[in-house]
Amino acid sequence: MTGTIGQRPWMTEPKAAAVLDALEAAGGADCARFVGGCVRNTLLGRPVSDIDIATVLTPDAVTKALAAAGLKAVPTGVEHGTVTAVSGGQPFEITTLRRDVSTDGRRAVVAFTADWEADARRRDFTLNSLYARRDGTLFDPTGEGVADARAGRIVFVGEPEARVREDYLRILRFFRFFAWYGSEPADAAALAACERLRGEIGTLSAERVSKELLKLLAADDPRPAVALMARTGVLGEVLPAPIDLARFEGLVAIEADQLFECDPLLRLAALLADDQVGAVQLAERLRLANAERDRLAAALSPTPELKSWMSPREIRRAVYRQGPRVFRDRAKLAWARSSGTAPTMQWRGLIALGEGWSPPAFPLTGDDVIAAGAPKGPMVGQVLREVEDWWVDQDFLDDRLSVIEKLKAVTQGMAF
């Protein structure tokens, strides 16, 4: 015991209390404690989202205790000791205290234990090896977690290389936690271990890598962490060369200065080359969702080039051709690349105009083209595109009769 974080509302609200009550009914007082992020974030005065619980009860006993209390139990990782309780619609991950029996860098064989210190020793970082009772009593089995958390030190529990060899994802987790909670300088021993073992990242599943990468990029300011990844060669194991650190750093600065919401996928795009084929290949390698893949590729189109001094008419044309979201993404990336060479107000105005204009629907259909004399078939699309190009050049003329007259002129000039 090392003090208290105080009894906070998230500890005593009915959903959490019902889970603790169920476990204590089966295992007695102090058979379960809050652990990890909820304890760490409370200590640091940060918001708490997920609530995880550690317990001496085995997964079978946890499942029976939850059922006896009328709570749903989901076997999300029973082989590793994890059962998810659902209380009032909210999930609570409950994990039996454990120690590693064997590991291969991707999977671990564990044995359950009742030893809180043994459980703490198998965790990744000291600031994540913190436990708290429901009354707020704080436990720091490593003796360093509280001090490290408050100082922004991301330190592996025990010997860094041994912790990394247990699970190579911990390389990326180190940089992710540094982005969210760390202060410079980074722990030298941790960095050295990550650098030495960076080649093992390729043995991890793509889904685990992409999830960790996007969490890292969602930090308020991931620039120091990404710079360290680049310096140690870790970034090159995850993303293809060339890496555009300058554009990435420019985008993060713009988001902070202009109060834009941080956007991890766009930050990923900022790191990459303007290469749509390469973006699609990376998205497939990282097993990103189709929508994420398509957004990356669209944002990294090298043409048409966006400039801060575009006229309102040119902006409307670009928004119509690309769509509002793609235009906004590409405008932010162009701004980030040209950071310092064009007035902020020009870029801000360009984005605001693009966001404030709703593209109109083209007023013609294929039926209109056929009615004007074009035969059914590929020619219909060709005529539509030609008239649409004219309509866009006319700045989206709001006069259907004029558009019909243009359609007639185009069809009369074509040999069908």
Express each pLDDT in 380-407 by its tens digit: 999 999 999 999 999 999 999 999 999 9
CB 129 within 8 A of CB 145: yes
How far is residue 267's CA from residue 260's CA, in Å, rounded to a whole number? 12
CA distance 3 to 5: 7
Residues of the chain with CATH 1.10.110.30: 158-238
Pairwise CA distance, residues 8 & 51, whole Å:
12
Dihedral, CA atoms, 341, 343, 349, 351, nearest 10 degrees? 30
- Phi then psi for 191, rounded to 5 degrees? -60, -45
The superfamily CATH assigns to domain 1-151 is Beta Polymerase, domain 2 (3.30.460.10)
Q: What is the SS3 assignment for 388?
A: helix
Q: How many CB atoms lie under 10 A from the CB of residue 294?
A: 15
Q: What is the pLDDT of residues 53-110, one digit of tens each?
A: 999 999 999 999 999 999 999 998 888 899 999 999 999 999 999 987 666 556 667 7
Sign of CA dihedral 279, 281, 286, 287: positive
| Preceding amide of 240 cis, omega within 30 | no
Mean pLDDT, rounded, of the chain? 94
> In this structure, which topology does domain 158-238 adopt according to CATH?
Hydrophobic Seed Protein (1.10.110)
**Every domain range in the chain assigned CATH 3.30.460.10:** 1-151
d(CA 215, CA 393): 43
Angle among Cα 267, 270, 275 to the nearest 5 degrees reads 135
**CA-based nearest residue to 327, from 355, 363, 347:** 355
Query: What is the structure's pLDDT at 401?
Result: 93
Confidence of residue 416 (pLDDT cuts 50, 70, 90): low
Per DSSP, the three-state class of 262 is coil
Phi, psi of 84, deg, nearest 5: -100, 120
Q: In a 3-state reduction of DSSP, which class is residue 148? A: helix
Residue 344 sits at φ, ψ, to 5 deg, of -55, -40
Bridge partners, residue 32, by sequence: 55
Confidence of residue 342 (pLDDT cuts 50, 70, 90): confident
